[in-house]
Amino acid sequence: MDVNAAVAAVAAIAGLGTGVIAMLAFRMSERERTRPLRSGPPPENTLPAGVDTVLSVLRSSAVVLDEADGVVKASSAAYALGVVRGGRLAVEPMLQMARETRRDGEIRQAELDLPRRGKGRTDALAVSARSAPLGSRLVLLLVEDLTEARRIEAVRRDFVANVSHELKTPAGALSLLSEAVLDAADDPEAVTRFAGRMQIEATRLTNLVQELIDLSRVQDNDPLTHAEPVEVGELISEAVDRCRQQASSKQITMVVGGTPGLTVWGHRSQLAAALGNLVENAVNYSPAHTRVAIAAAVVPGRGGEQIEISVTDQGVGIPESDRDRIFERFYRVDPARSRATGGTGLGLAIVKHVAASHGGEVLVWSSEGQGSTFTLRLPEPGSARERHRSARRRREGPSGTLHEPAAFPDSADADADTTNDHAREVLP
């Protein structure tokens, strides 16, 4: 009995000790939990307050580097440009800028050309990089993509140079011809000949100025602001009437056909100018005793039905190497022939801008020695009107839907025959 009592006493003492220890541990944990946090220095790579928010709204690509040139923060645009790769700054000139800024605290700026990512890419990205200190340890690097701005500036310079050259040619010719007229004042036959040449150059100058005005209008204005339903048949009739005299002088027959009663939604005068340019080019670049076919049809497209107006000629055709450039301003496949026909090199550029501003596109098929087919493709009136309304609600201007190029037949004759089931000849 004494032994049992001793065991029980020991067990009781042990249980009491365990309880006391558990209670002390609980109180210590509670005291530690409720103890106020100690204020200490922020982690080494923490951005100053508010900087992260500011960087998120910047349009420029942003990169923040620490003392070891590690990337603390980088925007998604910086990764897209290839400035940051694998968590490191991948452009050595920018890295050197950041190190110099960290050393002396001076803001630096430089323009650089970066190779594009991807195989087979030979062009470069033009960027402007600026480095600035961010606190005492970090460096902020802002990178602005200047590629598009440089391209636009190059286009503007080329345009000004081309305009100057094109205006100088007829203006110089008029000056020389006027001197010739003065020198030949006593020769009526020479005066008549020089005066005729002066009229030709004056007409060329007038056409060039007018097409420059037209191009400026289609580029700067929203043609659908005052859009209306336009009968395709009326547009074709106007284009035929515009070129009737030229076709008559070359004995070219113009054939009109396709689906009657079609309507498009857009700016009437701009659409008439675009189609007129296509028909005029077809007549000018076709040999005598041939025909030019103009046809309209409804075709399916990704954004709904579309209206196609095709102009097919039996002319010299366009070399494959030139087809991608024929819609550039002042570009001519055959400059000598264009000057002989009075071409300014702006007609197809106007057609392209009119098509794009109406939500459509212009396509070309051509084969040397067989002719060419230019197709003006526009959305049908319902979808075009709704697209314009949606764009206006978003205040983004008119938007167009690009579609796959249509498959053209192997010859211009086949195209004219298959698209003109109800064709009627318009005799010049």
Q: What is the CATH number of the domain that holds 192?
A: 1.10.287.130
pLDDT for residue 314 is more than 60:
yes
Same domain, 279 and 405: yes
Over pLDDT 70: what percentage of the chain?
Answer: 69
The residue ranking higher by pLDDT, 35 or 303, is: 303
Asked which of 160-174, 230-244, 246-260 is least confident by mean pLDDT, the reply is 160-174
The residue ranking higher by pLDDT, 29 or 132, is: 132
Same domain, 136 and 251: no
Same domain, 235 and 379: yes
Tell me, yes or no, whether 18 lies in a domain.
Answer: no
Same domain, 202 and 246: no
**Mean pLDDT in the chain?**
75
Same domain, 101 and 172: no
Same domain, 134 and 191: no
Same domain, 390 and 291: yes
Query: Which pLDDT belongs to residue 369?
Result: 81
Q: What is the CATH number of the domain that holds 309?
A: 3.30.565.10
**Res. 373 pLDDT band, cuts 50 70 90:** very high
Long-range contacts of 211-219 (CB under 8 A, 24+ apart): 211/344, 211/346, 211/347, 211/350, 212/163, 212/346, 214/273, 214/346, 214/350, 215/329, 215/346, 215/349, 215/350, 215/353, 217/270, 218/270, 218/350, 218/353, 218/354, 218/357, 219/353
Query: Which pLDDT belongs to residue 384?
Result: 53
Same domain, 210 and 248: no
Same domain, 201 and 241: no
pLDDT for residue 276 is more than 50:
yes
State which of 220, 241, 269 marks the end of a domain: 220
Q: How many domains does the chain have?
A: 3
Task: Give residue 300's domain range.
Answer: 223-426
Same domain, 306 and 404: yes
95-151 per-position pLDDT tens digit: 899 999 988 889 999 888 887 765 555 667 888 899 999 877 889 889 888 888 888
pLDDT for residue 6 is more than 80:
no
**Res. 376 pLDDT band, cuts 50 70 90:** very high
Query: Which pLDDT belongs to residue 401?
Result: 41
Rg (CA), the chain: 37
The residue ranking higher by pLDDT, 374 or 113, is: 374
**pTM score, whole prediction:** 0.52
Same domain, 228 and 324: yes
